[in-house]
Every structure is written in structure tokens, then in C-alpha cells.
Amino acid sequence: MEYRHSVQQIKKQILAKLEHNYGVGLENATNDQLYKSVALIAREMMEQGRSEFIAEAEKKGTKQVYYLCMEFLLGRSLKNTLFNLGVEESFREALQQMDVKLDALYECEPDAGLGNGGLGRLAACFMDALATGGYPATGYSLCYEYGIFRQKLVDGWQTELPDFWLPGGRIWLREIPEKAVEVHFRGHVEESWHESYHQAIHKDYTTILAVPCDMFIAGMDGSGVSRLRLWKSKGQEFDMGLFNSGNYMRAMEQNAMAESITKVLYPEDNHSEGKSLRLTQQYFLVSASIQDIIRTHLFKYSTLDNLPERVAIHLNDTHPVLAIPELMRIMLDECGYDWDRAWDLTTRTIAYTNHTVMKEALECWNEDLFRMQLPRIYQIIEEINRRFCQQMHDLGVDGYKVGRMAPLNDGYVKMANLAVVGSHCVNGVSGLHSEILKETVFHDFYTEMPDKFTNVTNGIAHRRWLNQSNPQLAALLTQKIGSGYIYDASQLKKFEAFKADKAVLQQLAKIKRSNKERLAEYIKRENNLVLDPDSIFDVQVKRMHEYKRQHLNALNILATYLWLKDNPNAEFTPHTYIFGAKAAPGYYFAKQMIRFIYDLGEVINNDPAVKDKMKVVYVEDYRVTLAELLIPAADISEQISLAGTEASGTSNMKFMINGAVTLGTLDGANVEIHDSVGDDNMLLFGMTTPEVENLRSAGYHPDQIYYNNPAVHRAIDFMRGGVNGVDFGDIVNSLTGNDPYMVLADFDSYQRAQAKAMQLYGDEKTWQQMCLVNIANSGRFAADRAIREYAENIWHCTPCEGKNSKLMH
């Protein structure tokens, strides 16, 4: 499709939208109405582009990719859409002629409340890369009314407020009620015996309607358009009979319960109601999505016999793994397949990505809860389990090992085990993570079915995180190496030729300072804190979690502050420490970590003895739009998880491509960053994964470090006395007790890395060379590359011919 519109055409379209949709002329239009009018035009362009893209893909017989994920952290859509369609400057000029600033319209859009962290942001980046690469794709998720939550810090304590994103975000959604599907819960199962399988019919169930709401994500140059189908839950028609008989509350309750399914992303599950709602959400997502996939496929082919050849279904983490038994249910109960044929088609169609080694994320559902909520699905999982265990026993596999691998065991449905059993391919998301999966988490499976396991290192949408977030750096790159890197990020390697170019290094420094000034303006406005753009901007932004070790960073800040108090004339490079993170609402320790950092900042920022040397900033309500401001301004990228705990990370890639130097452990994708840039262009510290395991096996005693390391001892004793009048005994007890993520074991090494960072930062030429080398070697972390690997090695699909010839396939 040709997206180029003249400036005059765009002005006419905007004026028409204002009049038709809002009944106003330009002179009376608000910025919000203008934003929505421009968004409608962009959405219509993508809808037409999607229609043409899919028509061409179907004509060529291109395989369809369906990507199921509980969250898609999209951020804002308008800027990304206009940039990718290649019409941003035309819209800017048209609006300028109307005396309207496009950047002001960007600010009218809320971040879409559909995601939380790295998992959801990866899914969003992949939608962009799938479209750019010419792969016809649909992402499936839920249309959360309130998203995760809006974070408000009250005296340092995280308070969760509802995230009202739909008033400004709904403009991107197209609701399609005529394509709604029914999802069934509870009820009972009537059984009958068939030769091939214990067949059952599900009766007297509760029915919830799943109504699709479509969003569209354009690839670069509009070469392809991905669809994100979000399901909104809706009750059945209002029961007038129930209401008229006096059961008013029950009549209202049915709809209210139905609509609660898509109210909030990740409801708290510290109680039985929360666990039940989470399970309901997960099945609602997969049942609606699988029904939609099958309906679309049957409409075109009238058979499911060719499903694996025409469709790839990908499960992003364990949340959508019930897609496996749901696909089996449809084939067995509604399409008449016998078990063996249905299982063959299911396992050849579905693939699974594992995103974590954290036990709490390898979901397990209580058998009784599961059987009550999903009786038919439970019965199918029982049969999957029986057949799998029998197969393993027939192969002579040890009984204890079979028990560990079983999808159903110890009174729990084990989702990760079900995912491995029911998919044809399992991948980790970094080289190290994939090895850890084979050696620990899925070791039993790996020894029996090694061919099932592979690796695809994560990637980012570099056009968003470089070209849109850091336009000055993008302009410099285009000037020096051409625009080819926009389509093929590996071409960034050409930039390394300028490592000794003094003018380029000076320009890099100038761009970084400009980005730091931009961030400092935001922090002055939001935090009432004045930052020094010449200080080191040391940034750690990600989910708040013990394994990500924000408390290691904070403990070092406290130790450094106390040292500066004792040595006021010591040589010290001014340092600004910036944090941003949300904690899960029920994760008390993580909330304590936030409060510790906040109160530490209160002490340091108000101490005149260090006011020109140190600042600590906690940015509230961290989200994609804020990341786009923060990341280009960072000098140091904190990636300090305990080795062997972070699957990959993607913020490390975003910082790298924006010229920040990684200060980190050899964990997740940090290992591959190190492979790319070497020791001289990264600040490594801490134990390696084998060293962590050796220390754990030998017996780790953090109390000995506390007594033997004066800096640790003093900092922890200071915490014991309270910080800013607040007691942090829980953190002290964790650090000096079992210290599960070995903060104290890595503390000394971390301090040395920080000292080295300050020394290097003082040599501007060396520092800018390090930044340049990082930018030049970041191309391997593009989502385009990751999607190409998924397509070639897992989904076995090729791009729609003729789509984006500038991309390397």
C-alpha cells in the first residue's frame, strides 16, 4: 500500500474528522480532539494496509503466526505509527500550517494499559518486527480496562491507583461484536467411552462472551501490518426473569463477575479469589484465541489436517499454556478427531518460550481449583498426563524422573511441564538462559528429548528505541553510515569505523548531554530536584524484585554517602543515581526496597555536605513513555542481577543502542553484550553462574561478610538505626541472614566496578569511545533478527514475498 499523502490531503482529512466525529471546526478543536482525529486517520491507514497485506499473504500461501501473551506493553501508538508509515513529517507540516504542534498531540496519548514489564514489551517489539519482516501475524491478549496500576509514592511507600487509559487509548481499538465467541467455565462433564479415548461432553456451564477489539501495529514503511486482537469479557444478556423474580443482586452480579475478567492485568493472587480470577483470565484468553484461530482456518481450508503447515501458534511464557488442552478439546469434541491425530496436529502447531528460571513464575495450579473451574480441560490434562507418563515408563525412564516431568503431580497442574510436553519446540531467551534451562529447570526433559530445545536471544524494536527515542543520535548515524541500519540493524557495525574520529566523539558527547538536559527538565518538574547534567547519570529501571538487586545498588549508594561524609575533600566524580520500577502489589519486600531507595534519597538530597556530589532520584510510575526519555540520557546501565537469575533482559539492549555503558554481571543477555564489546567496553563485576552455584553448595554465610567488610558493616548498621526515620529491619535481616540473591557476596566487586566507572568517565575520549563501540555492536539485539530466527528455526515460515526488500532475510 502507498501511504504517502500530500500535506494538503492530510489537512483535509484532519478537518473532516474533526467535523464528522466531534462536530467542531479547527478554531474550536482541543488538542485531545486533534490527537484523536490524527489517530483515526493513522488507524484507517493501518486497517487498509493490513487488509492488503493479508490478501497478498493468502494469495501466496504464507504461513500465519499467532502469538499468545498475557500482556503487550505497547506504550504510545501515534508516534510509532506515523514514523513507521513514513508520514510523520507530512503530518507535522500539515499540523504546523494549522498552527498545531504534533509533539503536543503526542502528549495527549496515554500509555496503553496492557502490560507490565519486559515480557510485555518484548511482545510489543515482536509485533513491530513481524510486520516489518513481512510475516502475517496476530497477537492475542486481553483488553484490560485498568491495566497494571498507576504508581504513586506516598512518603516513599508504593500506592496502587487505577490506570484509566481507555478514555485516550480507545481510539486505537476497533471492537467487532459480531466476531465474539463463547468461553465456558465450571459445569459438569458427562462421560462416555470411545475406543480411542474417554470422550466427554461439558454441560450446565457458565458462559462468558469474549468480544474482540483489534489494534494494528505497522511495520517499517508500512511493509506489513500486525494485528493485536484483545478480548473483552462480557456477560450474557441481562436476565430479566431473574430480576423480576426479586433476585436483583444476582441478576446484576452475573454481568459484573463476567466483566471482572478483563478489569485488571495480573490481579493480586495472595488469596483464593485472586488465584481463581487469574486462572479464569488465562483460560479466557486461550479459549477465545484458539476458537478464533480455528474458525479463521476452517473458513479458508475446511479442514484442520493442514494446521501445522499453515499455522504457527506461539506461547509466550506459561500464562497461555492452556492453549494446548483447549486445542485438543476443540479437535476431540467439536471436530471429531481421535486422540492420536489431534495430539499430533496440536504438538506440531504449538511452540513455547520460557522467560524465567524463577520458581514462582513456573505456574502451578491447585488440582481442586482447576477441576472446579475447568472440568473438561482438567480431564484432557489427565489424559495427556497418563499417556505421557506411560510413554516415559515404556522407554524405561526412572519413575522419580517421570514424576518430576509429569504435567499433573503432587496435587498440582504444572504449566511449564505441560508446555514442554505439548509443544514441538522450547526456547530460552539468551544463550546463558537456554543452557540453564537444559541443565536445571528442564534437565529431565532435555535428557529425554534434546532436539526439542533451542535458543533465540531476545531483541528490541530498534526503530522505536533509537530512531524515535533518540532522534539526534539517529541523525548522526544516518549522516555517517547511511539509513540502511533502520532496516538492517547489523549495519550499525559500520559506525565502529569512527572510533578514533574526534569530531564524531565530540558530537556523541553533545547529544548525550542534550538528552540529559531534557531528562533533568522532567525531573525538575516532577520531583522538584535539580540535577547536574555533567554528573554521571547512573540508571537502573526495571521491575522491582530481589533478584534484580536494586538493593545492592542502594547499599552501595549508602556506603558511598557515608564515605563521603568521612572524606569531604576526597576526589569524587559527581553522580546522579536514577531508579524507576513498580513492585507487584502483594510483594511486600519489593515495596520495602522502593521505600529504602526513596528515603535514602531524602537523606542524601537534603544533606548540604554532599549536595554537589550525589543525588538519588526515584521516578514515579515507570512506563514505556518514561523509558523513552530516560534511556537516551543514561551514562551507565545497571544490569546487576545475580548471575543465573535473569533470563535475558531487554533494557540492557535499549541502553546499549543509546550509547550507555553496561555495568553488570555475566547474566542473561549481558553475556552476549560482553561477547560483542569485550572487557574494555563494559564494566563487569560479580560471580559467574558456576561460582554462584559453588558458593551455594559450599555454604554461603553473609554474616561473615558483614563482620569482615567495614563498608558493608557501617552501611548496614546505619540502616539498623533507621533511614529518614524509617525502620528497614526486614532488608537488614535478609542481607545478614540468608541473603538469597547474594548481595553481600558481590558487594566488594560491585564497588570496584563503580570506582572504575568514575575513573573512566573522567577521560572523555575513552568514555565516548566505549559508548560508540556499544552503539556499533548493538545490531545483533534487534527484534528483526530474533523474529527471523523464530521464523526459520521454530515456525518454519517465510515472509510474504516482496515485503520490505530492504530487510535481510
Question: Which residue do the cell numbers 567488610 mark?
Answer: 709
Q: Could you tell me if residue 268 is inside a domain? A: yes
Residue among 491, 459, 460, 463 at smallest CA distance from 84: 463
pLDDT at 237 over 70: no
Q: How many CB atoms lie within 10 A of CB 30?
A: 12
> How high is the pLDDT of residue 258?
85
Question: Which residue do the cell numbers 539509513 mark?
Answer: 483
Whole-number Å distance between alpha carbons of 108 and 91: 16
Q: pLDDT band for position 266 (50/70/90)?
A: confident
> How high is the pLDDT of residue 3?
65
> How high is the pLDDT of residue 259?
85
Is 343 in the same domain as 450? yes
> How high is the pLDDT of residue 561?
98
Q: What is the DSSP letter of 179?
A: G
Is 223 in the same domain as 134? yes
pLDDT at 362 over 90: no
Q: pLDDT band for position 8 (50/70/90)?
A: very high
Is 642 in the same domain as 711? yes
H helices within 221-302, ranges in order? 240-244, 248-259, 272-301
Q: Could you tell me if residue 749 is inside a domain? A: yes
Is 421 in the same domain as 542? no
Cα–Cα separations (whole angstroms), residue 35 to 22, 39, 108, 109, 716: 12, 6, 7, 8, 51
Q: Could you tell me if residue 469 is inside a domain? A: no
Report the mean per-residue pLDDT for the chain: 94
Whole-number Å distance between alpha carbons of 607 and 616: 12
Give the catalytic positions in this structure: 355, 542-543, 548, 650, 654
Is 536 in the same domain as 428? no
Is 544 in the same domain as 642? yes
By three-state DSSP, how is residue 159 classified? Answer: strand
Is 39 in the same domain as 184? yes
Residue among 48, 58, 55 at smallest CA distance from 2: 48
Is 261 in the same domain as 130? yes
pLDDT at 807 over 60: no
The full length of the chain comes to 809
> How high is the pLDDT of residue 568?
94
* Residue 409 parent element (H or E): strand 408-409
Whole-number Å distance between alpha carbons of 717 and 156: 21
Percentage of the chain surpassing pLDDT 90?
A: 89
List the grid coordinates of 610: 554532599
Are 790 and 456 in contact by the 8 Å Cβ rule? The answer is yes
Whole-number Å distance between alpha carbons of 434 and 675: 16
Is 591 in the same domain as 710? yes
pLDDT at 734 over 80: yes
pLDDT tens string 298-322: 999 999 999 999 999 999 999 999 9
> How high is the pLDDT of residue 269?
72
Residue among 6, 17, 7 at smallest CA distance from 43: 17
pLDDT tens string 625-640: 999 999 999 999 999 9
Count the domains in the chain. 2
Q: pLDDT higher for 239 or 39? A: 39
Tell me the average pLDDT across 64-77. Answer: 97
pLDDT tens string 649-678: 999 999 999 999 999 999 999 999 999 999
Is 274 in the same domain as 181? yes
Residue 239 belongs to a domain with what CATH number?
Answer: 3.40.50.2000
Give me the sign of the Cα torsion angle 360, 364, 365, 368: negative
Q: Could you tell me if residue 800 is inside a domain? A: no
User: In terms of pTM, does the model score above 0.85?
Assistant: yes
Is 400 in the same domain as 521? no
Are 310 and 64 in contact by the 8 Å Cβ rule? The answer is yes
Q: Could you tell me if residue 206 is inside a domain? A: yes
Q: Could you tell me if residue 723 is inside a domain? A: yes
Residue 398 CB-half CA count within 13 A: 6
pLDDT at 253 over 70: no
pLDDT at 354 over 80: yes
Are 602 and 529 in contact by the 8 Å Cβ rule? The answer is no
> How high is the pLDDT of residue 805?
40
Q: Could you tell me if residue 431 is inside a domain? A: yes
pLDDT tens string 412-422: 999 999 999 99
Q: pLDDT band for position 235 (50/70/90)?
A: confident
Is 122 in the same domain as 196? yes
pLDDT tens string 370-413: 999 999 999 999 999 999 999 999 999 999 999 999 999 999 99
Cα–Cα separations (whole angstroms), residue 497 to 107, 476, 491, 661, 761: 38, 14, 12, 19, 22
Q: Could you tell me if residue 493 is inside a domain? A: no
Tell me the average pLDDT across 78-93. Answer: 97
Give the domain range for residue 61.
Answer: 7-458+791-795
> How high is the pLDDT of residue 251?
57
